[in-house]
Structure 1
Amino acid sequence: MKKTVLFALLLLLTTVGIFSCQKSTGSDAPAPADTSLDRKALLTQWADSLVKPGYQRFNDKLSALKTKTTAFTAAPTTASLLDARQAWQAAYLEWQKVELFEFGPAESVSLRNHFNIYPADVTGINRNITTGTYDFEVATAIPQQGFPTLDYLLNGLATSDAAIVQQYVASANHRRYLTDVVAKMDQTFGTVYGQWIGSYRDTFINNAGTDASSSLSRVINAYSLYFERYLRAGKVGIPAGTMSGTPRPEKIEAYYLKGALPLQLATTAHTTVQQFFNGRTGRPSLKSYLDALGAKDSRTGQGLASIINTQFGVSAQQLSSLGPDLYTTITARNADAVTSYNEMQKAVRLIKVDMTSALGITVTYVDNDGD
């Protein structure tokens, strides 16, 4: 009996030993995934299919804006004002598709600070116009430039288009300031775009690690920060008063034009965030990367990419329900705007906690909006 038991134990140990050797060294064992190669493919997809073509489309819209504002300042009329305003709206919408790329060259020049910090500092803008002296690089000038300032200059200087035109006819300083704001935008963006179509593209895709200085870490942090602070809070939460307790509809984007544009900007930004996550079918993306990792939602155990997409769908639907006029909605039924903020907040947890953990990325920014 003892011999039988000893033989069985010996056979079991031998079998386990053979299995262990096969698992670690056998030719039939699956090769470990080359995550470095996967990351490089993902970075290449972002660079060549999202960032560079996105920047090219925005550059076209920015060039058109420069052309139309130049024509307006050269000959201020109601027709040339409407042309400039239309070009501003088109460029502003296109900006929503590239604003989240605040990494690499954009981060180096603080592109967002030059383009879209709102509400505009109207007192500072008017002081700049009056004195004719200003420096767009100093910190206090951040809300005195970019799209929000153009909103004021093209839509908020007076209560009618005729009166706005007359202001430009009468004031060389107004014409100069409008020209300088657009020129600064063109110059700053030109620096960023020039680096992407130059050597930075290769630098970006070859920096394929996961440490804090890697391209993946910088992209994921920029992505999470954009959704949390500039979309969820900036476009909806702050105007709805979720942090202060008091609705502040005057803090919406495109405040001076109002109408449909503020919500169009927000929904375009939200769509961009979701499209960046999903990418193109059959191409590397955050979704495909998470699926390949088998990432799960920490609360439900379900596939993380699927859960994120479901929540994106819910938050997109709630955001769209705030139309057609975001200013009126926040004024008349602010609870709906708060609900929109709350639905986006659910996605923040999935992105900032679960997704970064699955990707092995450390969150390097701090959000201090009190939520």
Structure 2
Amino acid sequence: MVPVNPGTILILNEMVRTLFKNSIWIFLIVSMTGCLEDSKQSDNISEDGSSDRKEMLTFWAESMILPGYLEFDSHMETLALRANAFAASPNSQNLGSLREAWKNAYLNWQKVEMYEVGPAEKYTLRSFFNIYPADVAGIESNISDPTANLELPGAYARQGFPALDFLINGVGANDQAIIAYYQEQNLGSKRLAYLTKLTIRMDGMLSNVISEWNGAYKEEFINKTGLDIGSSTAGMVNAYVLYYERHVRSGKIGIPSGATIAASGVPNPDKIEAFYSEEISRELAQTAQKSFEDFFNGAAGSKTGPSLKSYLNSLGAKDPSTGKLLSDYINEQFVVIDTRLNQLTPSLYNQILTDNQPMVSLYNEMQKLVRILKVDMTSAMSITITYTDNDGD
């Protein structure tokens, strides 16, 4: 055996220890780098949330929006058929059937009016379907002139559900007078023609919207998963909040009661929805309110899916003043609004005339909800509100 210098042994041992320590450090560095990468990828998925939004957009499109439109379409087709039957034979039985179809279609409209995105926004469906009060003088003018252009903004209040309300409920003091209105020798046939023209036009516009949703637009809607202004989530949230602020809070309650800033406290009971069928005005508002709440909670008939509620929960969004989950806070405000709405008389017209304060109180509760949705919810979701107020908050 060759003798080994003790100094050499010490040097070798030191080299081994150094290599060992370096190996450990290299292993730790590599491991930590891998963990950081995994963590980074996981955080990106969580922060981006595009997969969650795609699931939500898919549920909205396939389980809420399109089925809602299809159900509404079946009622619109019935309305058009009943209008044709009444035009062919204006009698009390056909008038009653027409009114029933109009009411059912109007109630179903409340369930889809909030979906003013994509095709509905393109065709400005709301403007042609539900601008009230009806322009009575304009309707009579259009009856006299069959070539009148219904596409112009000035014609919005001469068509849609409010115009039909006038034509089947408001042209006479009773059924006999209404039927006589359509049997009048000089204008009777033109009046019937205008009535059927409006229902056919509405049914056709709705068919265009449904056709585009069934075509390329549905996939386009589902795949725009970002949060930028052009994304589907941002577009739907803006449409959703705007609808409630302008068309539920103000349109159904605030303007008729005089509670809005623009109304300056002066009640306008003649501006209620369904003025000539005032006994269903609360029911229309209740249907709209429930549909609005169902959309927030992802309630589509018997099933529940991804929603604004579940998305806010995934973000851990909380009400800044109470510390409650923001979705719970919103649902609590829904309950307050439902309670006050249900306490009103079926005729909002009579409610305003006899005791307007409950209408004003309801408006104030709806305004609280608008602030929560428009500020807290959109802030939590990193969504920009792109529309401007028309009467202030």
Return the TM-score normalized by structure 2: 0.87
Relative to structure 1, is the Cα distance of residues 107 and 163 closer, same or farther in structure 2, using a 3 angstrom cutoff? same
Match of 2:242 in 1: 225
Match of 1:201 in 2: 218
Task: Name which of 127, 139, 150 aligns with 1:113.
Answer: 127
Relative to structure 1, is the Cα distance of residues 26 and 285 closer, same or farther in structure 2, using a 3 angstrom cutoff? closer
Relative to structure 1, is the Cα distance of residues 30 and 106 closer, same or farther in structure 2, using a 3 angstrom cutoff? closer
Matching of residues 154-303 of structure 1 within 5 Å: 154-170=168-184, 171-243=188-260, 244=263, 245-259=265-279, 261-280=280-299, 283-303=305-325
Aligned mates of 2:142, 2:213 — CA distance in 1 = 33
Relative to structure 1, is the Cα distance of residues 78 and 21 closer, same or farther in structure 2, using a 3 angstrom cutoff? same
Deviates more, 1:273-282 or 1:106-115: 273-282
Is residue 136–residue 142 contact of structure 1 (8 Å, CA) maintained in 2? yes
Larger Rg: 2
Relative to structure 1, is the Cα distance of residues 242 and 123 closer, same or farther in structure 2, using a 3 angstrom cutoff? same
- Which segments of 5 or more consecutive residues in structure 1 lack a partner in the other structure? 1-13
Aligned mates of 2:42, 2:95 — CA distance in 1 = 65
Relative to structure 1, is the Cα distance of residues 299 and 20 closer, same or farther in structure 2, using a 3 angstrom cutoff? farther
% identity of equivalent residues: 47
1:242 alignment partner AA: A
* Residues 55-107 of structure 1: per-residue CA shift (max 9 Å, x gap): 01000000000000000001100110111011000000000000000001000
Aligned mates of 1:26, 1:99 — CA distance in 2 = 44
* Residues 304-363 of structure 1: per-residue CA shift (max 9 Å, x gap): 101000001101111111122211111111000000000111110110111111111100
Is residue 43–residue 216 contact of structure 1 (8 Å, CA) maintained in 2? yes
Match of 2:14 in 1: none
Match of 2:4 in 1: none
Aligned mates of 1:292, 1:101 — CA distance in 2 = 24
Is residue 121–residue 144 contact of structure 1 (8 Å, CA) maintained in 2? yes
* Residues 107-147 of structure 1: per-residue CA shift (max 9 Å, x gap): 00100001001000011111111233311101110100000
* Residues 246-292 of structure 1: per-residue CA shift (max 9 Å, x gap): 11111001100111x10000000000010000014662110000000
Q: Are 1:40 and 2:59 counterparts? A: no
Task: Name which of 322, 329, 335 aligns with 1:307.
Answer: 329
Q: SS in structure 2 opposite 1:198?
A: helix
Q: Are 1:357 and 2:357 counterparts? A: no
Displacement of 1:169 after TM fit? 1.7
Is residue 23–residue 29 contact of structure 1 (8 Å, CA) maintained in 2? no
Return the TM-score normalized by structure 1: 0.92
Is residue 281–residue 346 contact of structure 2 (8 Å, CA) maintained in 1? no
Is residue 22–residue 29 contact of structure 1 (8 Å, CA) maintained in 2? no
Aligned mates of 2:344, 2:194 — CA distance in 1 = 34
* Residues 158-202 of structure 1: per-residue CA shift (max 9 Å, x gap): 101111111112211101110111111111111101111222111
Is residue 119–residue 253 contact of structure 1 (8 Å, CA) maintained in 2? yes
Displacement of 1:298 after TM fit? 2.8
Match of 1:24 in 2: 36
Aligned mates of 2:113, 2:134 — CA distance in 1 = 18
Is residue 82–residue 97 contact of structure 2 (8 Å, CA) maintained in 1? yes
Match of 2:350 in 1: 328
Q: How many residues align?
A: 355
Task: Name which of 134, 137, 147 aligns with 2:161.
Answer: 147
Is residue 209–residue 215 contact of structure 1 (8 Å, CA) maintained in 2? yes
Q: SS in structure 2 opposite 1:97?
A: helix
Is residue 228–residue 234 contact of structure 2 (8 Å, CA) maintained in 1? yes
Is residue 269–residue 349 contact of structure 2 (8 Å, CA) maintained in 1? yes
Match of 1:52 in 2: 66
Aligned mates of 1:246, 1:27 — CA distance in 2 = 59
* Residues 8-54 of structure 1: per-residue CA shift (max 9 Å, x gap): xxxxxx9xx98986862467995542511111111000000000100
Q: SS in structure 1 opposite 2:378?
A: helix
- Which segments of 5 or more consecutive residues in structure 2 lack a partner in the other structure? 1-24
Q: SS in structure 1 opposite 2:251?
A: helix
